[in-house]
A and B are shown apart, each in its own frame.
Chain A
Amino acid sequence: MIAFLIKRLFHALLVMFVISVIAFAIQDNLGDPIQQMVGQSVPESERAQLREELGLNDPFLVQYLRFAINAAQLDFGYSYIFNQPTTEVIARHLPATLELVASATFLIILLSVPIGVYSAIKPRAWLSRFFMGVSIVGISIPVFLTAIVLIQIFAIGVSWTPFPADTAWGAWLNDLVTTEGGMPAYGRGDPVHVIGTWYTNFASPRGLLYLVLPAISLASIMLPLFIRLIRAEMLEVLQSDYIKFARAKGLPLSRIYFLHALKNTMLPVITVGGVQIGTLVAYTILTETVFQWPGMGLMFLDAIERSDIPLIVTYLMIVGLIFVITNTVVDLIYGLVNPTVKLTGKPA
């Protein structure tokens, strides 16, 4: 176990090094930070002086080394736009994003496992066909469209009367397609302070309500993918000899489906899932923009718009770090579920 962790730590450092080089290398193509920092009236001489002070004239390698040494001490420099250490800026925005991703992940796990398993056990049932149809649609719709539709229906509300209102059934159907709206869809509301920069939406029912629409639209990208993945894996597992043998042993179907089949189904799903949940962090850029969710995604977009290089670089590093951590955790879980994987390195 220790050996595995050390190995993973080494991998992680390597990955982080590559990310830092890439992140830092693109800085030259991201516009002139000086232009963003100072007003139009500032003369060229002062700009040059500022450029010199910030070390923007140094050779690439020097700038990178300075960055790397500082980065090792968790110092990524000052954000130009916030005029604060970037780590502080990130720390302020990180909890909002992590809470959003956690909520979306929770939704994905909660829904994809039962739906995927059901549609594998009963592939011909109309409900399974319905889920498969919906999931195709779900995969094809971009997240910002989902988000806008959700806002229209649940936050703003729709009142339209496509059916004749003077008949009883028409009025009933009209009522059915009319929504009240009123769901919060802008920002985080009033999150409760926990510790440090961590304000949480999880602490109050009102806070949770603010999470609903953003979490659903973020989950909508991955959910269909997971349903289809679980279904496909499970269908394959159900064909295997050991499932047939479990039936020949006279085991109850529930045990065959939810222990024998599900455990084998989840092995590849866990692997793919780990990577995908890392990707969710990146997808928050779109969701956070639509819902004005004050997380890292929104902050990152701001940073790009205004060429805030230290902040961009810090963001890339943090997202890289989140990827590395989730993948390591997933590998650990995988080792616990799959007995053929020995994390200890001890000969089996």
Chain B
Amino acid sequence: MSLLDVNHLDVRFALRNGDIQALRDVSFSLDRGERLGIVGESGAGKSVAAFSLLNLISKPGYIAGGSIRFDGQELIGQSERALRHIRGHRISMIFQDPMMTLNPVLSIGDQMVECLKAHRRISTHEARGIALHKLVQVQIPSPEARLDQYPHELSGGMRQRVIIAIALLLDPDIIIADEPTTALDVTIQAEIMALLLSLCEKHNVGLILITHDLGVVSQVTQRMLVMYAGRVIEEGPTREIINDPQHPYTQGLMNALPQMATPGSRLNQIPGSMPSLDNLPDGCAFHPRCHFAMRSDGQRRQACYEHVPGFVTSGNCRVACHMVSEMLGYERIPAEETTS
């Protein structure tokens, strides 16, 4: 059994005129020390998936169904108190914007010590020792001095190092990193990513990396998950998906990489944009942008318009696409569910 097992996770946002479903039937798992990438464009539900693992979705979001099993323990329905002992302790997080993540009025040392003290019976002196040790691990220059400094005295890259140090403070089993390098300078991005990768490998920490950078995913993760409009549409070993994407959307993403375009010509792109979650099309949510949904003779492919595709296995990957299931010679699979 995996360390983390997410099954059929449904997350909704309760709004005045009804719920919006941000995650539908999301399932994935993570083994100890494994690194998983979650890819998708903005609004696909990557961050919601990450935050819902620790029930940290901002209101009015709530988990409507499914299960999250961590180390044999069901997390959904757990009390805040029980979850608090997992947050920052067994599963920690790294946020997107290091400039906003640290509290501006508390010193770096205070923000590290309080985290240790929240989970361990430990003296301030001991806690500072551990904090210093972690600052050394993230290769911050003059770590002793940093403890008494405030966030505004550090650059963005330094702050992200501090945040990584905080995430590692209690030697967690899993780190969830929500676009940890997006807000950083391009030159710093690679440094921070390399640091995160080496620390995860060294301490055998599992990593859930949320990003829209396919390059980073291919370098850092072993498995990946592609999300579209709140659903997982493709999942499998990173290498296989990168080399041979099955879903038309994933193929489109790969094609959109600048290196895939002929030099001098326009970059490739997927036509259209992701539908908003409160107005999803019937059938496969991707069909309005999908070349497969329209036959060469100009006829619609009815399945794409009417049925949400179920997962089919292709190699080591799972893909949710009518085209793939047709090509693989599956029977016309009755869809798992029909959008009403």
Contact = CB atoms under 8 A, between A and B. Distances in A.
Interface of A: 239-242, 244-253, 255, 259-260, 263-264, 267, 337-340, 348
A244 B105 contact: no
Nearest to A247: B56
A323 B4 CA distance: 61
Interface in B50-103: 54, 56, 58, 80, 84-89, 92-93, 95, 97, 100-103
B166 A253 contact: no
Contacts of B58: 239, 244
A344 to B, nearest CB: 14
A279 to B, nearest CB: 27
Given A242-B102, A339-B107, A249 B88 contact: yes
25 contacts: A241-B100, A242-B100, A242-B103, A244-B58, A244-B95, A245-B93, A245-B95, A245-B163, A246-B103, A247-B87, A249-B87, A249-B92, A250-B84, A250-B115, A250-B118, A251-B88, A251-B118, A260-B106, A263-B103, A263-B105, A263-B106, A264-B104, A338-B105, A339-B107, A339-B150
A125 to B, nearest CB: 14
A264 B105 contact: yes
Kindly name the residue among A246, A247, A248, A253 whose own CB sees the greatest number of chain B CB atoms within 10 A: A248
B152 interface: yes
Contact of A251 (B100, B104, B107, B114): B114
B331 interface: no
Contact of A249 (B104, B150, B166): B166
A248 B87 contact: yes
Nearest to B85: A250
B297 interface: no
B291 interface: no
A255 B115 CA distance: 11
B300 interface: no
B84 to A, nearest CB: 5
Contacts of B95: 241, 244-245, 248
A248 B176 CA distance: 10
Nearest to A249: B88
B336 interface: no
Nearest to A266: B105
Given A245-B93, A249-B166, A260-B103, 20 more contacts: A241-B97, A244-B95, A245-B95, A245-B101, A247-B87, A248-B87, A248-B88, A248-B92, A248-B95, A249-B87, A249-B88, A249-B118, A251-B118, A252-B118, A253-B80, A255-B114, A264-B105, A339-B104, A339-B107, A348-B153
Contacts of A338: 105
Contact of B103 (A250, A264, A348): A264
Majority SS at the chain B contact face: mixed
A251 B93 CA distance: 13
Contacts of A339: 104-105, 107, 150, 152
B84 A241 contact: no
Contact of B100 (A240, A248, A250, A259): A240
A246 B153 CA distance: 20
Contacts of A239: 58
Kindly name the residue among B97, B104, B105 whose own CB sees the greatest number of chain A CB atoms within 10 A: B105
A188 B193 CA distance: 70
A338 B97 CA distance: 21
Interface residues of B, number: 31
A236 to B, nearest CB: 13
A242 to B, nearest CB: 4
B119 interface: yes
A243 to B, nearest CB: 8
Nearest to A237: B103
Contacts of A337: 105
Contacts of B88: 248-251
Contacts of A245: 93, 95, 101-102, 163
Nearest to A264: B105
Nearest to B87: A250
Contacts of A263: 103, 105-106
A234 to B, nearest CB: 14
Interface in B99-141: 100-107, 114-115, 118-119
A241 B98 CA distance: 9
A250 B152 contact: no
Q: Which 6 A-B pairs have the closest CB atoms?
A: A250-B88, A250-B87, A249-B88, A241-B100, A339-B150, A248-B93
Contacts of B107: 339
Kindly name the residue among A249, A251, A253, A339 whose own CB sees the greatest number of chain B CB atoms within 10 A: A249
A267 B85 CA distance: 31
A336 to B, nearest CB: 11
Contacts of A264: 103-105
A97 B103 CA distance: 40
A244 B54 CA distance: 11
Contacts of A259: 106
A81 B211 CA distance: 79
A242 B104 CA distance: 8
Kindly name the residue among A246, A260, A337 whose own CB sees the greatest number of chain B CB atoms within 10 A: A246
B130 to A, nearest CB: 14
B106 A251 contact: no
Interface string B28-55: 0000000000000000000000000010
Contacts of A242: 100-104
A242 B102 CA distance: 5
Contacts of B100: 240-242
Contacts of A250: 84-89, 115, 118-119
Nearest to B105: A263
